[in-house]
Amino acid sequence: MEPILELKGLTKVYPGGLKALDSVDLSIRRGEIFALLGPNGAGKTTLIGAVCGLVRSSGGSMHAFGHDLAIDWRKARSRIGLVPQEMATDMFETVWRAVSYSRGLFGLAPDKGRIEEILKSLSLWDKRDEQIRALSGGMKRRVLIAKALAHEPDLLFLDEPTAGVDVELRKGMWTIIDQMRARGVTIILTTHYIEEAEEMADRVGIISKGRLIMVEEKEAMMAKLGRTEAHIALAEPLTELPPTLTGYPVELENDGTSLRYRGGDGTGKGKAEVAEITKALTRSGIDYTGIDTRESSLEDIFVSLLGEDAA
Ligand SMILES: Nc1ncnc2c1ncn2[C@@H]1O[C@H](COP(=O)(O)OP(=O)(O)OP(=O)(O)O)[C@@H](O)[C@H]1O
């Protein structure tokens, strides 16, 4: 299937010489949720801005829905929605007017029923006649989402949709994003909350210093780069490892009072090896009093990848 968005060699050099995007290649599939992860200043907002026409790219090409954005920008633009990080909307407008206006801006016929549906799904219906400035931060953010949904985009960018909102609202946002996906909207989100990518995304891209250093299916990334770490507390300290543990990635720690295992590949191999190790200990007559096993998270993977990139 043709990608919904295709970037090739996308580059942005800001006046002054800073290369915010360095030859980014990315294909987005129809209907997926793609999470773009990266530290502050990595280039996430610049990438979104380039696709949405807010930032002029310095090189490369962008195609959306088969249209070359450099030529047919208008045709593609009406199908792309953006929820920016910050409110750029009239604070004195009412919620209803702001959201209805967004629909009109894209040339769609007014549809009160659709606006009502959107406001209800975002729990903004009761606030429809309030001025935006009177809303809480979380509600303002939902107004931004409502505005972006009002013109029924097929491709939606969410730039840090849950930054600064409380945990409860964040979970509520995830539900809304899930509902959008169910309607067939393709979603690209940037986030600082790796938990959010772990929860929501089908694929994850990691960007650092303007370079897309990895793009993978989330599950594949976790399987490829995931690790198991286990600490086995020993009943009596050891001075050296028993021969039965030769070949396993284990070492003694805490003055020989525990064993540390670090290995596996995120597909369950680690847990299986830890079980073998405990059997080997029993065979060698070594007692243990507890095992603490932990699978690495997307966060661990992210940190280790960025560590490599920084080196
Ligand atoms: N208008 C601009 N002029 C010059 N440099 C800019 C401009 N906008 C962004 N930059 C720089 O480009 C780099 C990428 O910025 P960008 O906002 O795309 O990063 P980001 O990944 O979205 O960061 P954050 O997570 O903090 O939002 C940063 O070094 C930033 O300082």
**Topology match between the domains 5-223 and 227-295:** no
Could you tell me the end-to-end alpha-carbon distance of the chain, in angstroms, rounded to an integer?
38
The CA distances from residue 264 to 205, 220, 269, in Å, are 23, 14, 5
Residue 29 predicted with pLDDT over 80: yes
Residue identifier of the C-alpha nearest atom 30 of ligand 1:
41
| Consecutive H or E run containing 310 | helix 298-310
Query: Which one of 45, 48, 160 would you pick to mutate in the ligand 1 pocket, going by the greatest count of ligand atoms within 8 A of its CB?
Result: 45
Q: 234 with 286: CB under 8 angstroms?
A: yes
* Ranges 26-35, 99-108, 242-251, 267-276: which has the least confidence: 99-108
- CB neighbours of residue 17 within 10 Å: 6
Residue range 55-89, pLDDT digits in tens: 999 999 999 999 999 888 888 888 898 888 876 66
pLDDT score, position 311: 47
Nearest to 199 by CA among 146, 162, 155, 156: 162
Residue identifier of the C-alpha nearest atom 8 of ligand 1:
46
Question: 13 C-alpha vs ligand 1 centroid, how far in Å?
Answer: 11
Q: How far apart are CA 302 and CA 307, in angstroms?
A: 8
Ligand 1: lining residues by beta carbon, under 6 Å? 14, 16, 18, 20, 38, 40-46
Nearest to 197 by CA among 223, 160, 144, 157: 160
* Ranges 3-17, 104-118, 269-283: which has the least confidence: 104-118
Angle at 100 between CA 97 and CA 103, to 5 degrees: 150
pLDDT score, position 310: 54
Query: Which one of 46, 162, 207 would you pick to mutate in the ligand 1 pocket, going by the greatest count of ligand atoms within 8 A of its CB?
Result: 46
Q: Residue 60: what residue type?
A: G
Residue 167 predicted with pLDDT over 90: no
Nearest to 233 by CA among 254, 247, 248, 250: 254
Q: How far apart are CA 187 and CA 6, in angstroms?
A: 14
Average pLDDT score over residue span 25-30: 96
Closest-lying ligand 1 atom to the alpha carbon of residue 38: 21
Q: How far apart are CA 16 and CA 35, in angstroms?
A: 29
Structure tokens at 178: 């899930």
Question: 15 C-alpha vs ligand 1 centroid, how far in Å?
Answer: 12
What are the backbone dihedrals phi and psi of residue 273, each rounded to the nearest 5 degrees, phi first?
A: -65, -35
Residue range 225-277, pLDDT digits in tens: 777 889 999 999 999 999 999 999 999 999 999 999 988 876 778 889 999 99
Q: How far apart are CA 192 and CA 45, in angstroms?
A: 12
Question: 176 C-alpha vs ligand 1 centroid, how far in Å?
Answer: 28
pLDDT greater at residue 205 or residue 163? 205
Question: 190 C-alpha vs ligand 1 centroid, how far in Å?
Answer: 13
* Gyration radius of the chain over CA positions: 25
The matching CATH number, chosen from 3.30.160, 2.60.40, 1.10.3470, 3.30.70, for 227-295 is 3.30.70
Q: 142 with 168: CB under 8 angstroms?
A: no
Residue identifier of the C-alpha nearest atom 12 of ligand 1:
20
ipTM of the complex in this document = 0.96
CATH code 1.10.10.10 for 5-223: no
Domain ranges of the chain: 5-223, 227-295
Question: 38 C-alpha vs ligand 1 centroid, how far in Å?
Answer: 12
Query: Which one of 24, 44, 206, 209 would you pick to mutate in the ligand 1 pocket, going by the greatest count of ligand atoms within 8 A of its CB?
Result: 44
Q: What is the DSSP letter of 94?
A: B
Q: How far apart are CA 213 and CA 87, in angstroms?
A: 30
pLDDT score, position 201: 92
Query: What is the chain's mean pLDDT, rounded?
Result: 87
pLDDT score, position 78: 82
* Ranges 114-118, 133-137, 145-149, 295-299: which has the least confidence: 295-299
